[in-house]
Amino acid sequence: MNVSRIKAIAYKEWREILRDRLFFTMAFVVPIMTLLVLAYGLSLDVEHIPFSVIDYDKSAMSRDYLHRFIDSRYFDFQGEAAGERELDDLLADSRIRFAIIVPPRFQEQLLSGRPVAVQSLIDGVFPYRTQVSKGYVAAINADFSTELLSRYIAQTRGIRIEQASVLVAPVRLETRYLYNQAIRSRWSMSTGLIMLVLMFAPPFLTALGVVRERENGSIYNIYASTVSRGEFILGKLLPYIAISALNIIILWWLVIELFGAPFKGSLLFFFPASLIFVVCTTGIGLLVSLLVRTQAAAALLTMVITFIPAMLFSGLLVPVESMDRATQIEAHLFPAVYYLNIVWGSFLKGLGWSALWGNVLSLLIYAAIIWTIGLLSFHKRPRQ
């Protein structure tokens, strides 16, 4: 290993990156844009759900009942509909996501101590949002029922209303949200997306860069030179690691400034750990570049083997523990799982070396394996 040769190669690579304007733009724009697009585009906060109602009863009680939906911050009232046909059309046109139909004689039935069935129609196109909306509706119904019931019990048994409400709902669940008190999905997503971006952008750039050398034939200069394969790979990849290191800082800053996520951990833990992750994923790019011959193929193969695992098998959307056994093993074959623990641990949980060293160690081992395979399969005398 000769340091000045490595420096020369790294400098050459850097100049080449700077000269290709499109490539240079990609290096910084793609990570930032991915973060923005996915963090804004994949919002999982279920709020402002547009809805409509039909009130066949038009009594004081039905108005009181409907106002619990209208006044809720989760719902966005779109006015009363004239009939059920209109509701169907509004739902089909996505103008509303759910509707409530209060039946005739709503107040009369309840006052005379009989149950009333209230129909709600929910748009099921976005399954997760449907699930959550259903939960909101059920909660409002349950609250209203509890009040009705305690009033009824208080009346029929001649006890005080407070006493009756304890009788009706004796157990309460108090939830404490740790790490993300207001359960803002934007905090989870934007921080988690640092993992996604650093999983696919470094290998993407690296693979393109290495393959470009081969595509335009300038790699023969390297083959013919005195540079050893280790020196070449190290020099070649250093600029990409440097770009990614810069991107770590940019992403970290954006997530805090733009999405308001807290950073509770230690920078002295987060940055070194992130750098190790970037070294890992850059190594993946090296492997990809050894498998394909054209830039187009390199770009597509990288997307396939990094983006999908990072999205689906990392714990970003579905926790790894909930996957079946085979998928769990598959998930642990990618470095994304370990790094996501590091990101969420550092940002939201305020953890550091003592709690997360295992994940860092896994990344180190991973990097060592990837780079060794990469080094050994790069030959200066390619078989033709």
Residues numbered 7-36 forming contacts with other proteins, rule: CB under 8 A: 22-23, 25-26, 29-30, 33-34, 36
Give the residue with the Cβ less far from other proteins, 8 or 42: 42
Residues 44-103 that bind other proteins (CB under 8 A): 44-50, 65, 76, 89, 91-94, 97
**Residue among 9, 137, 194, 219 that touches other proteins (CB under 8 A):** 137
Of the listed pieces 40-48, 220-228, 229-237, 374-382, which binds other proteins according to CB under 8 A?
A: 40-48
Give the residue with the Cβ less far from other proteins, 179 or 263: 179
CA distance 124 to 50: 14
Residue with token string 């005080």: 160
In contact, 256 and 191? CB cutoff 8 Å: no
**Residue among 40, 220, 353, 357 that touches other proteins (CB under 8 A):** 40
Give the residue with the Cβ less far from other proteins, 29 or 365: 29
Instruction: Decide: is 360 part of the binding site for other proteins (CB under 8 A).
Output: no
Which DSSP helix (H) or strand (E) runs through 258? Answer: helix 229-259
Strand, helix or coil for residue 75 = strand
Size of the site for other proteins (CB under 8 A): 119
Query: Torsion angle, CA of 178/184/190/196, rounded to 10 degrees?
Result: 70
Instruction: Decide: is 129 part of the binding site for other proteins (CB under 8 A).
Output: yes
In contact, 313 and 331? CB cutoff 8 Å: yes
Give least dist CB 4 to other proteins, A.
31
Q: What angle do CA 268, 333, 357 make, to 5 degrees?
A: 25
Token pair, residue 257, equals: 């400034």
CA distance 286 to 206: 6
**Residue among 134, 225, 245, 275 that touches other proteins (CB under 8 A):** 134
Nearest to 219 by CA among 93, 378, 376: 378
Helices 353-377 + 336-344 axis angle, to 10: 150
CA distance 309 to 303: 10
Q: What angle do CA 112, 114, 118 make, to 5 degrees?
A: 120
Of the listed pieces 208-216, 235-243, 271-279, 362-370, which binds other proteins according to CB under 8 A?
A: 208-216
Q: Which residues share a beta bridge with 50?
A: 76
Residues 99-128 that bind other proteins (CB under 8 A): 109-128
CA distance 131 to 119: 16
Residues 151-170 that bind other proteins (CB under 8 A): 152-153, 163, 166-170
Site string for other proteins, 362-381 (x = CB under 8 A): --------------------
CA distance 229 to 207: 16
Give least dist CB 124 to other proteins, A.
3
Nearest to 193 by CA among 10, 343, 7: 343
Instruction: Decide: is 250 part of the binding site for other proteins (CB under 8 A).
Output: no
Token pair, residue 214, equals: 């081969």
Of the listed pieces 223-231, 269-277, 310-318, 373-381, which binds other proteins according to CB under 8 A?
A: 310-318
**Residue among 12, 24, 130, 225 that touches other proteins (CB under 8 A):** 130
Of the listed pieces 221-229, 239-247, 283-291, 294-302, which binds other proteins according to CB under 8 A?
A: 294-302
Of the listed pieces 205-213, 240-248, 365-373, 375-383, which binds other proteins according to CB under 8 A?
A: 205-213
